[in-house]
Structure 1
Amino acid sequence: MTHASIQPKSALLIIDVQQSFEHMPYWPSGHPAPFQQALLKLEAGCRQADVPVVHIFHIDNDGPFRSDSGLIKAMDWLPGHPAARFDKHVHSAFTDTGLDVWLRRQGVQRLIISGIRTEQCCETTARVASDLGYAVDFVSEATLTFPMTHKGTGQTFSAQDIITRTELVLADRFARIVNVDTCLSSL
């Protein structure tokens, strides 16, 4: 008699996919289609597999991210009704939010990371999650970032350069780097 391997209980974290970003000067016109398509496929696959979907939103004192801006809500294309919502005030979704307590009460051992600012809030959350003992799947194609210029050298790094760097520093240390299909096939 063979026993199927039991997968640890997972949760999908959708980090900062909020209307605030659509009001920032670096936001591209229209929706970034590849990111949007990847995230929607990931979100739908997780819901189909009964994986709880958690929305994380960023609030600070910067214009569209202010609590009174009216923009601290999911982008219009993102399905609603998450299993839980947490608001954060720093890069990590774990700092002073109650997320860790909620996840542990749900029996979650594995986190699937997606969202906006690959190298900031998504990467920071992945690192902290790993340090807290969670297995982490970092779904790069379901993260989004923007080109950045290094102030010291003037060199501009493309969004893909930044994503590649994030994958390099997270892989096999803090997270398993996966695409949407690989992530969903392991649920």
Structure 2
Amino acid sequence: MSRSALIVIDVQKSFLSRPYWDEAALPRYRDKQLALIAGARARGLPVIYILHEDGDGDFSAASGLVTPMDWMPASPDACFTKHVHNAFTDTGLQAWLDARGIRHLIISGIRTEQCCETTTRVASDLGYRVDFVSEATLTFAMTHPLSGRVYSADDIVARTELVLSGRFATLRSVDDTLAALDQQETSHA
């Protein structure tokens, strides 16, 4: 039984109609996300999709957009719907993981600094060991509400890495994540 799982957060159609959606950033992210999913599957890890549902707009159930993006592989091992920024509160995710003895999470998905970071922090506080794969996360430029300064997606990713590293998660690339999983298997054999 695998003691690790890949969590893929909010890779859903709801984002496609948001004003900040940046189609130019998608290809690099999509390639990394798909490589991480394929690598996890090849190693027998469960792949869990998390979807976000709230409000009356693009993230409401009635919108029909709270479904994985078309390029996402079908048939995750589990899929949970959240209504807050982390994937644990009122979703059943923790019980699902605990029932399978999973204590190591690999985090990926959309909005690096929002739902991916928040899920990472909560997972760490719950005692899970967490790898944060920022190259398999996606976010968008933001404007500071007081200063007007524009933070690029790269700025936001760097800030997220800074605050998570060594405190809530280990930062890894896709390749490093998969190599670490292979090393774990070798050391347990």
* TM-score, with structure 2 as normaliser: 0.93
**Which residue is equivalent to 2:144?**
150
Whole-angstrom CA distance in 2 between matches of 1:36 and 1:164: 19
The answer for the alignment partner of 1:179 in structure 2 is 173
Post-superposition offset of 1:93: 0.3
Task: Judging by fraction of residues, say which structure has more helix.
Answer: 2
Percent identity of equivalent pairs: 58
* Equivalent residue in structure 2 for 1:43, among 32, 37, 45: 37
1:59 aligns with 2:77: no
Distance 1:159 1:31, change over 3 A: closer
Describe how 1:80-119 pairs up with structure 2 within 5 A.
Answer: 80-119=74-113
Q: How many angstroms does 1:29 deviate by?
A: 3.2
User: What TM-score do you get using the length of structure 1 for normalisation?
Assistant: 0.94
What CA deviation, in whole Å up to 9, does each residue of 1:144-181 have, x standing for no partner?
00000001101000000000000000000000000000
The CA RMSD over aligned residues, in Å, is 1.0
Listed as ranges, the gaps of 5+ residues in structure 1 are 1-7
In the TM superposition, what whole-angstrom CA distance separates every residue of 1:50-105 from its partner, at most 9, and x where no partner exists?
00000000000141100111111110001010010000000010001010000000
User: CA offset at residue 23 of structure 1?
Assistant: 1.1
Query: What is the CA distance between 1:9 and its match in structure 2?
Result: 1.2
Measure, in 2, the Cα distance between the counterparts of 1:137 and 1:125: 12
| Corresponding pairs, count | 180
**Counterpart AA for 1:64:** D
Counterpart-to-counterpart distance in 1, 2:77 and 2:29: 22
Of 26, 34, 54, 2:28 maps to: 34
- Give the 4+ runs in structure 1 shifted more than 3 A: none
